A and B are shown apart, each in its own frame.
Chain A
């Protein structure tokens, strides 16, 4: 029924094709097709480095309503390969809006498609799993076969060390205060920095491949490894860096990818989830307190709970109530822990800001006990 179809399309690795209307850059894009269930925050999604290389399907159908504003950018640029929505709104209404999402995407050369049966697409991914795909701004005069062929061989972020793409390439200092945190930037989000700044922390943001010596030289009170895109196993040399930090016994907080890197560093393993956890409504239980927290998540890989070296004092501290997957790691003595979710939200709940407090408390009483000097 051709009259139904716009001339833009999403073509999946397995040959399934969805049609719609292009509202972004007028070009094709390859990537991994995933969905997020966040109902607000499309701009935060677009600029979250962890989405690097992904074509993101927004399950919430009405997108663009409140426009785009510089304030809400979570990094220096949008990282998604493309966006798929059901009902795009081109005339935003919000006091902070600077321009429409379409204008923003065109300015950053990112293709986007609207009018797609995003629920059908989501159900497909849920059943078969996240997969390679191709976003086509215009199918006119192109053969479906050729498009499917390209989708099959589409580039995917799990093929490469995408952390290198998103990490900052030189050091910078953010905020000030008596506590000093080195932040290993694998794709940090603005609101993580903001959350530390607000708490009066002196943060040195360093590239993901900064040698451990340089980090030691900075004499940090603690190290935080940020979230980031792709397969943690591709994130050399960050894994070694984290291993060294752990050996030093420096207080450590791993967030998302930083959590997965900690797992790899201590000899645990990671694996790919069928379609990942992406959204702002994932329930996580803290196994110590029994308390449940609503968390923001964005990851395609998980830490295999069986692989955690409990012998060496490591334990799974938090789990996901939906699928039981590992959401946090902690150590019996060492001032080291990590969370799989995003305590900074953005998009998503701010309920887990306590994670930053917990981390900074570790730093403080360690400082008080003068152990800070050992490093």
Chain B
């Protein structure tokens, strides 16, 4: 390294979207720590507040700003970094770095691009350059054509037959890609793909459907030393995106010949590319010969490398960061063994299984089939000494309504349907495979029909066979032992034998059958290792002696899903740090490989385990030296996952830190909660529970429409909705699984009004409210999907007072110790409680960053018995910061065909971005920039409004026009605008009749944004749906709430595109210089 690098700019990956999730917080955080070890100053920028990397103690300078070139330019100008590290922030950071360099900004401020050189990145990302390179080093690529237009596509099919694979360049998670089986599909997917690709380039490729899909994680340093961290085999063959595939590490069906053949190829490729850092090489391997093809290379750390790091204990991001500043592999210490160096290849002595977590429980109408475009929001990983056991653990970790492989879709009573679900990959296929084996299907047939390798089917068959043995025999200790070794849970065994779970557990204990815990040490026990990273298994020797001294267990939040995202991992990690600071050993339990919480040096000890009552209970018992009531557990930071463990754990006598189980139950049990609020005299929306249609209609009439309906208990079926009329109510009930099965439906009066949210910390005496968040959208849009503004700008002092007073009363009366999250609605001047969550919430990281109050730290200390006063805080509303912070929701609708983008009381967003500035308009404008929703003036916008929104929308439309926007509108809306004497371009809702119709203007790229608010009538909903989907698929902003629209237009006008860029903490100090 000639001129030594001293200041490095690290770019994060921004909001969580499908295809780019928590793994990059893990990578970025590790990178910053690694660079610090080398005495390098780090400057970090990310627009996502719910990240550990944006904590002020991870990097030297932290920017929470939109990830766009202009912002980066200003940061570079201010910070004068001499290096930029772009390969740890996913596709977002990579693309941004490419832009910056192409705009000449890096040269201008002579910032050195660290790690993998730019042309290497281009060679790997640009499908054409990549093909040529592989040609040069004669590595096989499948026949394909790079095309830039529909015409080219048509030409290509002439020569090579369908099906064809469509893969856009420079996109993530296979966005815009797919399998074209018909010419129609070809047209659709190609035009989608061209739109999705920033360089309007897609690859048409011969289909390798059904081949084995294998990945290698490879690392190369500047001295050309190369190692492979591990390989991974996809259980789902080629055709299902690796992000949607069940993945096992290491490969299971490859002989040494095949393993080394692909490994050598991967090494050859990383050398030819000249990558300095980590990369991921994907292969398709013919199941019946040595023939293989290279599918793609990701020249950066990725979802797969995060998985590989957790699967092997080899910290890829950390090593990549050190390589980027010129270190050689043999100069980097192996932080696991602390004896060896990073120049070695991990040896596994266990098997790792990854299962994806899909959002179809939220999106019932979505197309559930899996293809080349990723749909999963998160994933779980499980470790054990056999595949079967690891697989069953992973299934348990998913936390879906299929708690184990015994689950079956009722529709499978129809053999046709079952056969279909075996053949076509979907989120339910794994269970379908088991179901058909259960019905006696032949292993080879199932393998042939599904394309899943015989070996995996065989493992499933062993599980099914054990099910039979369990249900047909009296389960003696020997059989119990064998079933536990195969990964059966007590609950599963109980189900199969009609016993109580506790009864099975008792038998285990009597027989002395409890799990042992083994270490993940990167070296298969060849060397002594220092890592505190463990997994459970039913075997002889235990390696995890219970930790001595005071300790507490933090329950993580499991896989990332809609409604429970990275925010909760943020809370868990902070809790671990807080415990350490308090001199209490922190023990982390989590099943999510993407996260910082499962990094082995986040806590004093990590158990990589499922978060079901049994797995957690066994760990607590183990750490308690064989008794249940010894080690306390923290349930407040792991989202609903941890909360749900409250009663089962307390039944085992486990002590819970902070709010008692009774407090939790009080908040969770609707009837108790109602009675409670009435007792302490705090209003909530009037409502009732009904079980018959008559009762429902009667209740609705009493309450008055619109009403808000939801099942009291979600089995699936449709969840919460706002209902405007009796016939809608009838239809809702008819389509509700729960209702038809006789479960009550809850009907609340829908209170239109301003929604407000608070997070508060209580020690039982004082209640600290760090800040109040006001929603832009009126109640009815889920808090997770609405724009939240700190501090509540439009609240009257009396309202603020009332909010503080209610919050304090509720927290104290409920005996909350630690955190509580409350959502209110202000309806005609009155404050109602919508919901109380006795735990850390989605907004905690956002609020911590906005206010600078270390919420989790304070709460954790409070749970450990240190009062707020002792911590130097007092009750009440914390002093308001001289800033405005806006939380913007971010959606992944484009990836999910058939999903309704319209916002309602059910959460749909996958991530969030933060816009922070001195004033609201610029803060909001930045939030829009950060969430990719910004409309610039003089763009064309299509407006189609529900009648109830029309009247008060005129000023907004006038504003749009004054700013120079061209307005298109559907019939009704257009007439209104004309009558108001403003220019408007009418487009018809009658598709095909009259041009342009409302879809033309969207799909032909005439309009740059859509404002559409659905009315109650079914027709409107359907028309609107088409508009909204079109906009989503076209990738243009689509606003479905008049409130959002108004705010957006206002922000555009007032901010006029001007905003501050400065380190996060500076916003909190009155004096600050912006660049």
Chain A residues at the B interface, C-beta cutoff of 8 Å: 1, 3-4, 18, 35, 37-41, 43-44, 59-62, 65-66, 69, 71-72, 86-87, 89, 91-96, 117-120, 122-123, 126, 279-283, 285, 290-292, 294, 321-322, 345-351
Contact = CB atoms under 8 A, between A and B. Distances in A.
29 contacts: A3-B478, A3-B481, A3-B511, A59-B347, A59-B525, A61-B351, A62-B252, A71-B257, A86-B386, A91-B454, A93-B253, A93-B455, A93-B458, A96-B255, A118-B349, A119-B518, A119-B525, A126-B525, A280-B347, A281-B345, A281-B346, A290-B223, A290-B328, A292-B343, A321-B341, A346-B256, A347-B260, A349-B260, A349-B264
Interface string B323-350: 0000011100000000111011111111
Contacts of A118: 349
A59 B524 contact: yes
B584 to A, nearest CB: 30
| Top 10 A-B residue pairs of the complex, sorted by shortest distance between their CB atoms | A41-B256, A120-B541, A93-B455, A3-B478, A37-B347, A59-B524, A281-B345, A117-B540, A40-B256, A93-B454
B330 A294 contact: no
Contacts of A39: 250, 259, 347-348
Given A40-B254, A283-B330, A294 B345 contact: yes
Nearest to B478: A3
B372 to A, nearest CB: 25
Given A89-B458, A91-B458, A93-B454, A62 B524 contact: no
A280 B344 CA distance: 10
B330 A321 contact: yes
Interface of B: 223-225, 227, 250-257, 259-260, 263-264, 267, 287-289, 328-330, 339-341, 343-351, 385-387, 453-455, 458, 476-478, 481, 511-512, 518, 523-528, 539-541, 543
B256 A122 contact: no
A291 B224 CA distance: 8
A126 B259 CA distance: 27
Contact of B343 (A59, A62, A93, A283): A283
B481 A66 contact: no
Contact of B263 (A35, A86, A93, A349): A349
Contacts of A322: 339-340, 344, 527
Contacts of B264: 349-351
The residue among B254, B348, B511, B540 with the most chain A CB atoms within 10 A of its own CB is B540
B541 A72 contact: no
Contacts of B343: 283, 285, 292, 321
B99 to A, nearest CB: 36
B344 A321 contact: yes
A283 B458 CA distance: 36
Contacts, number: 167
A87 B487 CA distance: 13
Given A89-B458, A350-B260, A94 B346 contact: no
B255 A41 contact: yes
A265 to B, nearest CB: 31
B764 to A, nearest CB: 47
Nearest to A282: B344
Contact of B524 (A94, A122, A292, A347): A122
A294 B540 contact: no
B566 to A, nearest CB: 32
B386 A283 contact: no
A44 B477 contact: no
A118 B349 CA distance: 9
Contacts of A279: 347, 524, 526
B385 A87 contact: yes
Contact of A122 (B251, B341, B525): B525
A279 to B, nearest CB: 6
Contacts of B330: 283, 285, 292, 321
Nearest to A275: B526
A347 B252 contact: no
A60 B255 contact: no
Contact of A1 (B511, B527, B541): B511
B329 A292 contact: yes
B253 A348 contact: no
A281 B347 contact: yes
Given A119-B349, A283-B330, A93 B540 contact: no
Contact of A119 (B288, B289, B329, B541): B541
A212 B511 CA distance: 66
B349 A117 contact: no
Contact of A65 (B224, B253, B340): B253
A65 B455 contact: yes
A93 B453 contact: yes
A283 B334 CA distance: 13
The residue among B259, B348, B518 with the most chain A CB atoms within 10 A of its own CB is B259
B257 to A, nearest CB: 7
Contacts of A87: 385-386
A69 B260 CA distance: 16
Given A4-B481, A39-B259, A39-B347, 17 more contacts: A1-B477, A40-B256, A60-B347, A62-B387, A72-B255, A93-B253, A118-B349, A119-B539, A123-B525, A126-B526, A283-B330, A283-B344, A291-B223, A291-B224, A346-B256, A347-B256, A348-B260
Nearest to B384: A61
Given A61-B351, A281-B346, A294 B525 contact: no
Contact of A61 (B287, B329, B386, B512): B386
Nearest to B349: A59
Contacts of A285: 330, 343
A294 to B, nearest CB: 6
A23 B512 CA distance: 27
Nearest to B225: A292
Nearest to B224: A291
Contacts of A294: 227, 344-345
A69 B290 CA distance: 14
The residue among B257, B527, B528 with the most chain A CB atoms within 10 A of its own CB is B257
The residue among B224, B253, B345, B523 with the most chain A CB atoms within 10 A of its own CB is B345
Nearest to B538: A4
A193 to B, nearest CB: 16
A66 B255 contact: yes
Nearest to B385: A61
Given A62-B351, A283-B343, A95 B385 contact: no
Contacts of A3: 476-478, 481, 511
A126 B529 CA distance: 12
A10 to B, nearest CB: 12
Contacts of A60: 250, 347-349, 524
B817 to A, nearest CB: 42
A342 to B, nearest CB: 12
B35 to A, nearest CB: 23
The residue among A1, A35, A41, A292 with the most chain B CB atoms within 10 A of its own CB is A292
A59 B346 CA distance: 12
A39 B522 CA distance: 12
B511 A40 contact: no
Given A66-B254, A349-B260, A120 B539 contact: yes
B253 A94 contact: yes
Contacts of B351: 61-62
Given A120-B539, A283-B330, A291 B453 contact: no
Given A3-B476, A93-B253, A122-B525, A281 B344 contact: yes
Contacts of A71: 257
Contacts of A65: 252-253, 455
A281 B260 CA distance: 12
A37 B527 CA distance: 11
A280 B254 CA distance: 16
A94 B225 contact: no
A165 to B, nearest CB: 25
B1056 to A, nearest CB: 57
B720 to A, nearest CB: 45
A322 B263 CA distance: 22
B233 to A, nearest CB: 10
Contacts of A37: 347, 349, 523-524, 526
